[in-house]
Amino acid sequence: MIEIFNNGGPIMYPLLLCSIISLTIIIERTFFWIGIGMQKNQKLLDEVLKLTRQGDWDLVRQKASGSHNYVIRMIISGILHREYSLIKAMESSAADEINRMQRFMGALDTMITVAPLMGILGTVMGIINSFDMLGTSGIENPQAVTAGIAQALITTATGLSISIITVFPYNYFNSRTKRAAGIMEKYATSFEIVYEQILLEKNNHLRSKK
């Protein structure tokens, strides 16, 4: 590996940096999504939704206190701001959660695009050097020229490898984010309907007293 790296020329150093950045982000995002899965707590979410149907807001806050479930955090945000704008509060909270899930995805996308381009650049530079050698030594030493071209192609292979290995976790992380966004939208709509029903029943109760 060290020999291949040295044969690739100076472009191998930025490619090495790209691979380190990609690997670091992939590991960080993997642990992030593992944590999201561990914090799911469907039982607590169902209990919170049951309490919201009863309109017991204080008990909801007590039960959900300290929860790291992104859906529960969104619902709690709506409850805390229900007197002002429940929908906008949940939308803002959902946007914050999605931004947290999409962290570093822009950098990962950049590595997917830049790594192959750097590889091609290294190959072009290597071919230019090979033709310089051809102009210096002529066709009497073709082995030196072909060896130079073979070495130049190392950077393209390296850049493509980095991009291919990175694109699979990148698409997986994006699919998880889209799925989480759909879940938040579903629960936000359900909570909005429940809250409107509570308000309607409350208004009907006040009218019946009059």
pTM of the entire predicted model: 0.82
Say whether pLDDT at 210 is over 70. Answer: no
Tell me the pLDDT band of 137, cut-offs 50, 70 and 90: low
Reported as a pLDDT band with limits 50, 70 and 90, residue 206 is low
Query: Kind and range of the H or E element at 139?
Result: none
pLDDT (average), residues 163-190: 93
d(CA 125, CA 154): 12
Please give the Cα distance from 118 to 89 (Å, whole number). 44
10 has a pLDDT exceeding 60: yes
Whether pLDDT at 142 is above 80: no
Give the residue among 173, 149, 155, 151 at the shortest CA–CA distance from 100.
173
9 vs 16: CA distance, rounded Å: 12
